[in-house]
Amino acid sequence: MNILKDRVVLVTGGSRGIGAGIVKTMADQGAKVAFTYRSSSVKADELIASLDVEEGRVKSYQSDASDAEQSEALVKQVLSDFGTIHVLVNNAGITRDTLMLRMNESQWDDVIRNNLTSVFHMTKQVLRPMMKNRQGSIINLSSVVGMMGNAGQANYAASKAGILGFTKSIAKELGSRNVRCNAIAPGFIETEMTDDLKNKEDYLQNIPMKRFGSVEEIAAVVLFLASDLSSYVNGQVISVCGGMNT
């Protein structure tokens, strides 16, 4: 299938984990994909090499979405390389987990800047080409933690909850231009991050499906929101959590 044939998709934080799964699914479905990484290009190069696509159809860019100037330069370069942007997936994010009593201002600021301010920067930069095309889909990766809260993650929960309010506001601002904005709230997903979790069995007790989700299951929902299959879906939050947030 080529659900996204010739669509141009920009994914932040696309070199590993959920981001890499999204890049792979988008490319497999016919999209031209631009994705970012923060530091080492090794993972990005490995991802591109693993894809069965023609040269130049998937490109990586070193860029920090939390920085306004880098975000602007990135979007200009992607527009130069691909001509337009049909879909933005705001996936980049970090954690700095600790109890509130121990949390310092730097740990708070780092998470808010990387998880929430980055969404502002990237969304702002893609609006003009999307409005010009009168077509666009902005997909923001939030978290069930942003809906439920979690001890030791006040900074992360605040950043992910902020994404939800941002998503609904942008949906109302741009719906008349046929630019949609939706959010995905993953639960526990099998990635390098969850590999380090202690007491996994305790977490599984709170998940009705009794398992963690896969990267591919998140990417499938991104595919739905990126495609015309969701052409009347706007301002929504889709939880992909095995029923944990029910």
16 in a known ligand binding site:
yes
Annotated binding residue at 73? no
61 is in an annotated binding site: no
Q: In terms of Cα–Cα distance, which of 56, 176, 188, 181 is closest to 126?
A: 181
> Which residue, 144, 44, 126, 143, is CA-closest to 84?
126
159 is an annotated ligand-binding site residue: yes
Backbone angles phi, psi at 34, to 5 degrees: -110, 135
157 carries a ligand binding annotation: yes
CA-only gyration radius of the chain, Å? 17
> Could you say which of 37, 61, 156, 203 is catalytic?
156
Taking each helix axis from N to C end, the angle separating 154-174 and 118-133, rounded to the nearest 10 degrees, works out to 20
Residue 219 assigned as binding residue? no
Determine whether the annotation assigns residue 156 to a binding site. Answer: yes
171 annotated as a binding-site residue? no
Q: Where are the beta strands (DSSP E) in the chain?
A: 8-11, 32-37, 58-62, 87-90, 136-141, 179-186, 237-240
Our answer to whether residue 203 is catalytic in this structure is no
Give dist(CA 171, CA 118) in Å, integer. Answer: 18
Residue 15 assigned as binding residue: yes
Q: Tokens representing 212? A: 């963690």
Q: Position 163: which residue type?
A: I
Check whether 151 is labelled as a binding-site residue. Answer: no
- Point out which residues pair with 11 in neighbouring strands: 35, 89
Half-sphere exposure of 220 (CA within 13 A, CB side): 7
Tell whether residue 68 is among the known ligand binding residues: no
d(CA 92, CA 25): 17
Binding residues: 13-16, 91, 156-160, 189
Binding residues for NADP(+): 13-16, 91, 156-160, 189
Active site members: 156
